[in-house]
Amino acid sequence: MSQSTTNNTRITILERFRGPPTSGHGGYVSGRFAAFADLTTDDSAEVTLRSPIPLDQSMSVLFDDDNPRNYQIQDRDTLIAEVRAARLSLEVPDPPDWAQTRAAESRSAALMPNINPLLPGQQGFHPICFCCGPEHPEGLHIFVAPVDRQVSAIWETKTEWGDDAGKLPQALLWTALDCPGQYAFLAEGIRTGLLGRMTAKVLTTPRAGSSLQVTAWTIAVAGKKHLAGSALFDDQQTLLAYATTLWIGRQPLRL
């Protein structure tokens, strides 16, 4: 593949957008990386994560001269991610009842103490995750719980998160569509490994400050690969965005 750094394009993921303590949040960084994609109205962006995402460190965006719709994110000689345009076909189930979803939040694994054996004495599966971490002071605080054969949460967004048009940035929508997929497997007694690939399609960008519903469900398991679907709805339960997340590996579970 012939590559070039068109206009010396660079990207940096700030420390507050972490998933694991020392790496960028998979959904957030995928949304940021996907922003360079030249997509048609039918396209989705597919982001494959190849290495842990460094924080507070500038990375290069390397475009494919033979196919500008494909590109890579690289940290010096380390391949961080590969991005390409794709077509995402996903059957999205109807979302659970809004009131039942809100009532279920207190049962979310994201709020359980000592659930992660690697982080004793802390609250939640990923305590300081930008999406689902209850101990992250600037996080999205999306706490999905099992509701009607899915996991679901009501996500209260903030007006200060809005862009110049008052809309939620695409990277935050990708963030919200990430972690719930892992919790869908957790609800079935499976603790998956790290996010390996995410493919997302945004149909309508909601306004910052709106109340939204996030859902997720399991799709398939093949060896070490765990595929989940996720979706985002407005307060009328109109579909706004959807995604698939592919989780690699399996880890010990303590409930």
Question: Domains along the chain?
Answer: 3-86 (3.10.129.10), 98-250 (3.10.129.10)
Per-residue pLDDT band for 206 (boundaries 50, 70, 90) equals: very high
Mean pLDDT comparison of 40-44, 68-72, 199-203, highest-scoring range: 199-203
Identify the residue whose tokens are 């972490």.
18
Per-residue pLDDT band for 39 (boundaries 50, 70, 90) equals: confident
What distance in Å separates the CA atoms of residue 231 and residue 239, rounded to the nearest whole number?
Answer: 7
Is the per-residue pLDDT at 199 higher than 90? yes
Torsion, Cα of 238, 243, 249, 253 (10° steps): -10
Which range (78-87, 114-123, 169-178) has the least confidence?
114-123
> What percent of the chain has pLDDT above 70?
92
Are 62 and 118 in contact, with CB atoms under 8 Å apart? no
Identify the residue whose tokens are 């109340």.
211
Which range (61-70, 139-148, 156-165) has the least confidence?
61-70
The stretch 7-35 carries a mean pLDDT of 93
What distance in Å separates the CA atoms of residue 145 and residue 216, rounded to the nearest whole number?
Answer: 10
Is the per-residue pLDDT at 5 higher than 50? no
Per-residue pLDDT band for 254 (boundaries 50, 70, 90) equals: low
Is the per-residue pLDDT at 173 higher than 70? yes
Is the per-residue pLDDT at 186 higher than 70? yes
The stretch 224-246 carries a mean pLDDT of 98
Are 72 and 83 in contact, with CB atoms under 8 Å apart? yes
Per-residue pLDDT band for 38 (boundaries 50, 70, 90) equals: confident
Identify the residue whose tokens are 């939620």.
168
Instruction: Give the per-residue SS3 of the chain.
Output: CCEECHHHCEEECCHHHECCCCCECHHHHHHHHHCCCCCCCCCEEEEEECCCCCCCCEEEEEEECCCCCCEEEEECCEEEEEEEEECCCCCCCCCCCHHHHHHHHHHCHHHCECCCCCCCCCECCCCCCCCCCCCCCCCCCCCCEEECCEEEEEEECCHHHCCCCCECCHHHHHHHCCHHHHHHHHCCCCCEEEEEEEEEEECCCCECCCEEEEEEEEEEEECCEEEEEEEEECCCCCEEEEEEEEEEEECCCCC
Give residue 252's pLDDT.
63
Identify the residue whose tokens are 């940290």.
75
